[in-house]
């Protein structure tokens, strides 16, 4: 079984737990996920099965979207509601206008410092391992991009007001940290109270199955009808078509001249990765444009 299985991750499960469960259900080892979700987080978790594991790195590069609930008035060591409270403030007085202004400050490319409770490595050790030892180390800020951020709802009359918002962001963005930083922009401590991932790899909730559904469909022999082809998860790469005769050469891992493609006049970006197909619409693999030698170079070939 090759392709993408879109799972709706339940609360309380790690991403590794989900992979382990699906491995047992499908009785296959070659499964990889496309981006870790914390146990408290629910939502879209695409799993790459079989040969589709070869596209994991390209799926991970695509933007992801989330819906988050930010709680004002407390801060925790993990930057989410599961952590130990390290600061409190009451009463909190902010307006919806204040919130909208604060959110707007995070649109575009921003600097973000990874939280201590994260898998980022410093001197060969993961930050969460250091955090569990009670250590705090200096972390370098990283550039991430917030493509879109919108206010969904506010409950500002609570003792600890809550703000619900949606965000579309680049790989490597920590929504927990974004919540904390929004709180700082409002001048109050904040933590993430809830998070749902609503899109990953272009896959949304509508395409997802629960673990229970996956088990039932596998038992009834109907799961294969819910598998998404690997190339559907990398549609951010341009599609290029070549004749079937040259497609056979591509499947053998050979270079193919750009002149054989229907789109060759538009291929002007050296080093660009593309999805290569034959004229029967069969996916051949991920290839790279080399303008110096005027060829498509094979990067990941998907032979029949």
Instruction: Report the catalytic residues.
Output: 38
**What is the Cα–Cα distance from 44 to 10, expressed in whole angstroms?**
10
**What is the Cα–Cα distance from 21 to 270, expressed in whole angstroms?**
42
The DSSP code sequence of 107-120 is SEEEEEPPPSSSS-
**What is the Cα–Cα distance from 274 to 258, expressed in whole angstroms?**
12
**What is the Cα–Cα distance from 279 to 245, expressed in whole angstroms?**
9
Q: Where do we find the tokens 């469960």?
A: 21
Main-chain phi, psi angles of 105, to 5 degrees: -70, -15
**What is the Cα–Cα distance from 151 to 299, expressed in whole angstroms?**
41
Asked whether the beta carbons of 239 and 277 are under 8 A apart, the reply is yes
Residue 70, C-beta contacts closer than 8 angstroms, at least 6 positions apart: 162, 163, 164, 165, 179, 182, 183, 190, 191, 192, 193
Strand order in the sheet with 273-278: 238-242, 273-278, 283-290, 295-301, 256-257
The β-bridge partners of 200 are 64, 203
């Amino acid at each position: 079984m090759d392709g993408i299985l879109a799972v709706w991750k339940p609360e309380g499960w790690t991403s590794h737990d989900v992979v382990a469960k699906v491995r047992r259900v499908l009785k296959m080892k070659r499964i990889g996920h496309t981006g870790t979700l914390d146990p408290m987080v629910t939502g879209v978790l695409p799993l790459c099965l079989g040969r589709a594991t070869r596209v994991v790195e390209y799926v991970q590069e695509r933007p992801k979207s989330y819906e988050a609930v930010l709680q004002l008035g407390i801060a925790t060591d993990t930057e989410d509601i599961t952590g130990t409270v390290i600061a409190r403030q009451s009463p909190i007085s902010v307006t919806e206008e204040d919130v909208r202004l604060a959110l707007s400050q995070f649109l575009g490319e921003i600097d973000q410092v990874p939280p201590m409770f994260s898998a980022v490595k410093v001197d060969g050790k993961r930050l969460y391992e250091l955090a569990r030892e009670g250590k705090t180390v200096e972390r370098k800020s990283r550039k991430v991009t917030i493509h879109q951020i919108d206010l969904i709802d506010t409950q500002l009359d609570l003792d600890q007001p809550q703000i619900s918002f949606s965000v579309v962001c680049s790989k490597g963005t920590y929504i927990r940290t974004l919540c904390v930083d929004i709180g700082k922009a409002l001048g109050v401590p904040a933590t993430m109270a809830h998070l749902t991932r609503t899109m990953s790899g272009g896959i949304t909730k509508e395409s997802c199955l629960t673990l229970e559904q996956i088990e039932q469909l596998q038992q009834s022999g109907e799961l294969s009808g819910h598998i998404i082809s690997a190339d559907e998860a990398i549609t951010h790469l341009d599609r290029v078509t070549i004749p079937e005769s040259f497609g056979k050469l591509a499947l053998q891992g050979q270079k193919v001249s750009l002149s054989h493609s229907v789109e060759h006049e538009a291929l002007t970006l050296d080093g660009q990765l593309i999805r290569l197909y034959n004229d029967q619409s069969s996916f051949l693999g991920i290839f790279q444009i080399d303008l110096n030698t005027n060829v498509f170079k094979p990067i990941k070939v998907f032979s029949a």
